[in-house]
Amino acid sequence: MMRRIFTCLGLCLLLTFNIAAQDDPQTPPESTPEPVVEVPRPAPATVIEQDGVVLEVLFDQLPQGRAGLLHIRGDDVTGARLQFREQLVDFFPAGENSFYGFIAADMDQPQRTYEASVLAFTSDGGRVTLSAPVNVVSGGFIQQEFDVPPDRVYLTSPDVERLEFARLDSVINAVSENRLWAGDGFQPPMDSELTSPYGSFRVFNETLPTRHTGWDLQAPVGTPVMAMGAGTVAYAGLMDIRGNYVLIDHGYGVYSGYAHFSQTHVTRGQEVSRGQVIGMTGNTGRSSGPHLHWEIAVNGLWIDSLDFLQMWLPS
């Protein structure tokens, strides 16, 4: 299933897609978590050392709408915190005197080189500040046009969209201080063809310009949708644009969202495991046909969910 989704990426970025109505739903299969796909740890692109503390940048550039990893290590290091533009992010432990932190670029972030500042805490109560350049480059986004059915035209109002994003921001900016996704990692939410890509510039009914915060997956109504990883349900309910929606907190500022459900099988506060069925695909909200809208937020920013699945993460 991983290979099927990943090999679609090149085609998806070249074409403009329309969401079409699907066939009648089939009998849902049982939930079976996908095996963990081993991704090798990337070699550091930048290494900075100061006063016995080492900062490793595990990427050479950061495309718009993507996340990367920073690593802090040292014999006396007890923790670290990142400051990057508006982000203030605590690192999470991964081994003795070893800490990792996510850094994310917004899909609209201007392309240039920024400075990421990392404050490392040491066992003697000291602090060491290390800085590294972060080169934000183009995300390579496409343009799309969609027609919303007449009975849902009211959902193209800028005020409706603004209020929904404000509601979501109040949730995804909260950071759980524990890693909830466990050691089994993440998987795609369903086995389906990708259609509309993340980050695309969209125009609804030739009036509302907006951005696509996730990937759309083709599916008839009633197709089971699985949690991409273990976590706690942060939201389960109805939203104007996303329809019946589930948002899962995976810890350390990582959230995954699943929109347009016909049925929701989880409730707020419920713990879920990777591969657990959390709902059924549908056509609720601002949708022109049955599908799953799947999105991920890191450090309060919507990032490319498909790209995130391909990241190496410490166990």
CATH 2.70.70.10 domain span(s) along the chain: 2-15+141-309
Residue 35 banded pLDDT, cuts 50, 70, 90? low
Q: Which residues pair with 77 in a beta bridge?
A: 122
Which CATH superfamily includes the segment(s) 46-137?
SoxY domain (2.60.40.2470)
C-alpha span between 70 and 19 (Å, rounded): 37
Give the per-residue pLDDT at 23: 32
Give the per-residue pLDDT at 36: 53
- Above 50 in pLDDT, residue 136? yes
Residue type, 112: R
Give the per-residue pLDDT at 207: 76
C-alpha span between 268 and 175 (Å, rounded): 16
CATH 2.60.40.2470 domain span(s) along the chain: 46-137
- Above 90 in pLDDT, residue 236? yes
- DSSP 8-state secondary structure symbol assigned to residue 194: B
Tally the C-alpha atoms within 13 A of residue 314's C-alpha that lie toward its C-beta: 19
- Above 80 in pLDDT, residue 24? no
Give the per-residue pLDDT at 233: 98
- Above 50 in pLDDT, residue 40? yes
Q: What's the predicted TM-score (pTM) here? A: 0.87
Question: For the chain, what percent of residues have pLDDT higher than 70?
Answer: 88
The mean pLDDT value for 231-240 works out to: 98
Give the per-residue pLDDT at 3: 33
Give the per-residue pLDDT at 60: 96
Mean pLDDT, rounded, of the chain: 88
Give every CB contact of residue 30 below 8 A, 6+ residues apart in sequence. Answer: none
Question: For the chain, what percent of residues have pLDDT higher than 90?
Answer: 74
Q: Give which of 13, 34, 28 is closest to 225, Cα–Cα.
A: 28
- Above 60 in pLDDT, residue 235? yes
**From start to end of 192-285, where are the E strands?**
201-204, 208-211, 214-218, 224-226, 231-239, 243-251, 254-261, 263-264, 271-272, 277-280
- Residues 289-304: tens digit of each pLDDT: 999 999 999 999 999 9
Architecture of domain 2-15+141-309 in this structure: Distorted Sandwich (2.70)
Residue 37 banded pLDDT, cuts 50, 70, 90? low
More confident residue, 283 or 205: 283
Alpha carbon 247 to chain centroid, angstroms: 11
Measured on CA atoms in the order 116, 80, 257, 159, is the torsion positive or negative?
negative
